[in-house]
Amino acid sequence: MNTTPSSESLDRGPARNGAAPHRRRASWRVIDIVIASVLAVVCGVIFWIWSNAVSPATQTATVGFPPLSGLIGGGWLIAGVVGGLVIRKPGAAIYCEMVAAVIEALLGTHYSAGVLLSGAIQGIGAELVFAALLYRRFGLPTALLSGAVSGLFMGISEVFMYYAFWEPRYQVVYVVCAVVSGLLIAGFLAWALMRALISTGVLGSVAAGRDARQMRRRA
């Protein structure tokens, strides 16, 4: 008997009948807040490294064609996607992205408090995908789409906030690069991280771990 949940199995939450199970699943518990906060803090440190080491190096490397810097944007989007995949409750993507942005701001970045606005916008982008799927699908396609939409929100908002002086073709290329980066860096890596954490058992108390256990029982 195969006891390893497949990618397709992990792409669905457990079946729910009636309104009561839905309310139970939508409500946050203390453990959900704790796990989401831990994930967000770790991602916040990644954000800080991305802002202070990866971003400057990339800007230097892309000085000949600045819009290509959008290809690293996914590093600032992973918190929202992984939060949605792991907690699987309304608000998880926004919460994790915002807390991660706060951590980045506290650690210090040349983007200053602007990271808080960016975190809110990017978190909303990631959250919209989970909401559109009614918080019932959490596999690779969902992760990729969430990362891509978050990247779209990031690209468009940053064009308005930072790159309004660019000519239109530069702006379009930047947004496309941000979407690709969100899909690959935030989407795929967040999904891979969720799978890895599930395999260790550390997510046993939250929705991602419970869903995986249910799928193993059905296998």
Q: How sure is the predictor about 13, in pLDDT bands with cuts at 50, 70 and 90?
A: low
Q: Is the pLDDT higher at 23 or at 202?
A: 202
* Overall average pLDDT of the 169-193 stretch: 96
Q: What angle do CA 96, 99, 102 make, to 5 degrees?
A: 150
Please tell me whether residue 65 adopts helix, strand or coil conformation. coil
- Does pLDDT of 154 surpass 80? yes
- Does pLDDT of 143 surpass 80? yes
Structure tokens at 114: 């602007």
Q: Is the pLDDT higher at 26 or at 167?
A: 167
CA distance 154 to 118: 7
- Residues 6 or more apart whose CB falls under 8 angstroms from that of 4 comprise 216, 219
Residue with tokens 């930072």: 162
Q: How sure is the predictor about 119, in pLDDT bands with cuts at 50, 70 and 90?
A: very high
Query: If you compute the radius of gyration of the chain from its CA atoms, what whole number of angstroms results?
Result: 18
Q: What is the pLDDT of residue 213?
A: 83
Window from 28-37, 175-184, 197-206 with minimum mean pLDDT: 197-206
DSSP one-letter string for 92-114: HHHHHHHHHHHHHHHH--TTTTH
Span 28-209 CATH architecture: Orthogonal Bundle (1.10)
- Residues 6 or more apart whose CB falls under 8 angstroms from that of 214 comprise 14
Report pTM: 0.86
CA distances to 47, 99, 214 from 96, in Å: 12, 5, 25
Dihedral angle sign, alpha carbons of residues 87, 88, 91, 94:
positive
Q: What is the pLDDT of residue 70?
A: 93
